[in-house]
Structure 1
Amino acid sequence: MKKKLFLVVIALCSKALVAQDPQLFETTWYLQKLTIDTNDIFPPNTEFIEYDETNFFLEPPTISTGYCDAFGIEVLYSTMDDEFEALSVVELGGTCIDIDNINFTSEYYSFFEDGTGIKNPFAYEITDSGGALSLLISNVNGDTALYGDETLAINEVASPSLSVFPNPVMDVLHIHSTTEIFKTVTIFNLQGQEVMSLKFQQNNPTIDTGNLQAGVYFLKAESDTEKQFTAKFVKK
């Protein structure tokens, strides 16, 4: 009887977790506005932003987000309400050099965590306005982050001189550049942990990702001229 009851509890919890709005996980979100202490803060309108995508994942329970630089968030999704708790917020970096983008990224990071700690819990609401989706996340202080399902700027996920494909990848990931010779490539997971580091001396190296678990990863490549490039990819 105890075993059956235990299985029923697991089934109910799993059902409740999946019962959250599936659009949260099915949609790629783009940050449109922060409201901090009742002040509206909008993303700088720049031509190149390295990380403007936000994705939510159930397995593993994480958020991939950022603006000019990236960060990963380990989360615990509520089984009852449209909310989650952030267990850790890890800065994954990037190649951001524009001061306006750096300042906005700092404001965005502080929406989740600052010197006082992580601002749990976070509640969210998804609105469908004639086919256009919006996501509003609120932290414990009442600050909000507003996202849409379309980007506001002309952006690319990877650095202009670096592309990775296929993305998502099943096994072999190709790194391509028409201008750079890469000497090292390092891969990090959303927890900021280094999971792979390789040395090359070529502009189009390949990486066997067969041993990586399914999830989102960030790739940092350094050229023979000491330039750094970054990209995000998904391992199936």
Structure 2
Amino acid sequence: MKILDLKKLKLLYVNLIAIVVLLPSFGGAGGGLYAQSGDLLGESWTFIEGNINGVVLQSPANFGGVFTNNYFGDSYFVFDYGTSTYQCDEWHITYFDVSNNEFYLDEIIDIQTNTCQGPDVLDFIDKHNSFFVHLPLDTNGAPKNPFSYTIVNMGSQNQLTITNNEGDWAKYGGGMLSNQTFHQSSFTLYPNPVKEVLYVNNILKQEVMASVYDISGKLLQSHSIETSLSTINLQELNSGLYFVVFKSKTGERVSKKFVKN
């Protein structure tokens, strides 16, 4: 396992979690082919299908997996598992040497597992994890480097195909290109800094999930916001910097930060 040098260690800043969202499969011929590290690192990629150890892998019904790093910093990938309304398992791994068609994984730095349930779900999680690292999933797990990738514009979505060093492949969908209404200005947090109750102004007036994370990326709270003005009780949180990730029903995600006094 490659040891990160001081320069890379300085890149290990806060990276918010992108929560699982189930996107439809994508078929047919794609548009123009592109593969740039900025595109890889700037999307939330939801699993579509794969072939791992010669076995076709698909998500269980109403369940999925996603990986991302598209919120803060370019230091590590976040792998999440769950449904459109809850997240059950999650782990983080640092990466390096990202080019326009290849990347390397390095060190697993956080694992939050054992809350997903069901034999089909657990089998899917293990097989998907085994695409990226040798199991068992722990901080000593060796990545299956190098990983090559391509990104194809499918019209309203992008499709990412990754291949590991064993010849296994996995496809992911990402990039809600047709809808630009869901962005940071859609939400206002106040007061900020906050002592106990955080008010959320949702100008979209549509139901969204709001999840609170600390600076290490640990999920602390998750709420369904259905009105234009909602509140989040933060009385139990310690003083410090936190983030709220808002997720729409169609999978768009934005984040806002706040300070708890």
TM-score norm. by structure 2 comes to 0.50
1:113 aligns with 2:126: no
* Cα separation, partners in 2 of 1:124 and 1:27, compared to 1, 3 Å: same
Distance across 1 between alignment mates of 2:244 and 2:77 = 11
How many residues get paired?
Answer: 167
Question: 1:56 maps to which residue?
Answer: 69
- Are residues 112 and 212 of structure 1, via their aligned partners in 2, closer, same or farther at CA, if it must alter by over 3 Å? farther
Q: Does 1:136 align with 2:154?
A: no
Q: 1:76 to 1:174 in 2, by over 3 A?
A: farther
- Specify whether residues 83 and 174 from structure 1 end up closer, same or farther in structure 2 by C-alpha distance, changes over 3 A only: farther
Query: Please, what is the CA RMSD of the aligned residues?
Result: 4.2
Aligned to 2:61: 45
Identity of aligned residues (%): 24
Secondary structure at the aligned position of 2:77 is classed as strand
Deviation, 1:102, is 1.1
CA distance in 1 between counterparts of 2:198 and 2:37 reads: 34
Partner amino acid, structure 1, of 2:65: D
Q: Deviations over 1:115-151 (max 9, x none)?
A: 4721111111101123321001111111112101289
Q: 2:48 aligns with which of 24, 32, 43?
A: 32
Contact 1:188/1:195 (<8 A) preserved: no
Q: What does residue 106 of structure 2 align with?
A: 87
Q: Deviations over 1:193-224 (max 9, x none)?
A: x799xxxxxxx6316687448899xxxxxxxx
Q: What amino acid maps onto 1:62 in structure 2?
A: Y
Query: What letter matches 1:88 in structure 2?
Result: E
- Contact conserved, 2:213 with 2:242, CA < 8 A, in 1? no
Q: From the superposition, tell whether residues 174 and 98 of structure 1 become closer, same or farther in structure 2 (CA, over 3 Å).
A: farther
Please list the CA deviations of residues 38-91 of structure 1 after superposition, one character each: whole Å capped at 9, or x if unmatched. Answer: 321101013xx4x7332134714211113242111111133x442211112342
Greater helix share, structure number? 1
The secondary structure found in structure 2 opposite 1:106 is: helix
**Structure 1 match to 2:233:** 205
Shift of 1:234: 5.0
Equivalent pair of 1:166/1:174 in contact (CA under 8 Å): no
User: Is this contact kept in 2: 1:112–1:139, CA < 8 A?
Assistant: yes
The gaps in structure 2 that reach 5 residues or longer are 1-34, 83-88, 136-140, 177-186, 200-211, 221-231, 246-252
Give, as a single letter, the amino acid of the residue that structure 1 aligns with 2:92: G
Letter in 2 for 1:148: G
The answer to whether structure 1 residue 71 and structure 2 residue 91 are counterparts is: yes
- The answer to whether residue 110 in structure 2 is matched with residue 96 in structure 1 is no
Q: Give TM-score, length-normalised by structure 1.
A: 0.55
Matches of 2:233 and 2:148, distance apart in 1 = 42
SS of aligned partner of 1:110: helix
